[in-house]
Amino acid sequence: MHCRLGRALIALAGCLVLAACGEPPTKEMDLARTAIAAAERVHADRYAAADLKAAQDAFEKSTAAVAAHDFKLALNHALASHDRAQTAAQAATVGEQALRAQLQQRIEDATARNRAARADVAAAARTRGLRRAASAASVALDTIAHDLQEARAQVEGGDLETADRLSHGAAERVAAAIATLQPGKRPATANRQPAHRAR
């Protein structure tokens, strides 16, 4: 009788162990799902696409393993998914901070160039033969200044993609706006007087 009771207890213990090991890793999968969502909110698809994709793939494998009743494999994939999602979120945060700093520097540099270019435009506006070009350059500089102001607002609002689009090439646009005001770019009529004197 004691033998039978012992065997029964062993069997019961075995069943309990199997039951504990035979449950889907619901908690771990929930944590992985939450971590993936958090990574997506900080735009990991832009700054850490490989890590985010790995986390999503691991989660899909975990789900497939649950469907196949391989709960140990499902647990491993869920844990891996959670780890990669956290890595993606951290990398995205660093990447976004770096881009924000880069955009702020670009905007400040272009704004300074635009401000300096105003002096060239003002001087050209007082020069015969360059007044029309100066007027066009002034309009171009106004447009660039507006774009930079909007880009600055977008950075502050967190829309770095729009800020990047608005500020991209701003310094080059300033240079192009005042290019016709340089001596070498002046109209041909500005060089006629020396030839007249030679005669």
Q: Where in the chain are the domains?
A: 23-93, 99-185
pLDDT of residue 9: 42
Rounded to 10 degrees, the C-alpha dihedral 60/48/167/101 comes to 140
Angle between helices 26-41 and 49-67 (to 10 degrees): 160
pLDDT of residue 52: 97
| Inter-residue contact 58 to 80 (CB < 8 Å) | yes
- Rounded to 5 degrees, what angle do the CA atoms 12, 14, 17 make? 110
Query: Cα–Cα distance between 90 and 177 in angstroms, integer?
Result: 41
Query: Cα–Cα distance between 75 and 62 in angstroms, integer?
Result: 7
Residue 186 phi/psi, 5-degree rounding, is -70, 155
Residues of the chain with pLDDT under 50: 2-3, 5-20, 186-199
Single out the residue of 61, 57, 52 nearest to residue 84, CA to CA: 52
pLDDT of residue 37: 97
Query: Cα–Cα distance between 29 and 158 in angstroms, integer?
Result: 30
Distance from chain centroid for Cα 79? 27
pTM confidence score = 0.67
pLDDT of residue 180: 80
Query: Cα–Cα distance between 93 and 105 in angstroms, integer?
Result: 19
Query: Cα–Cα distance between 56 and 66 in angstroms, integer?
Result: 16
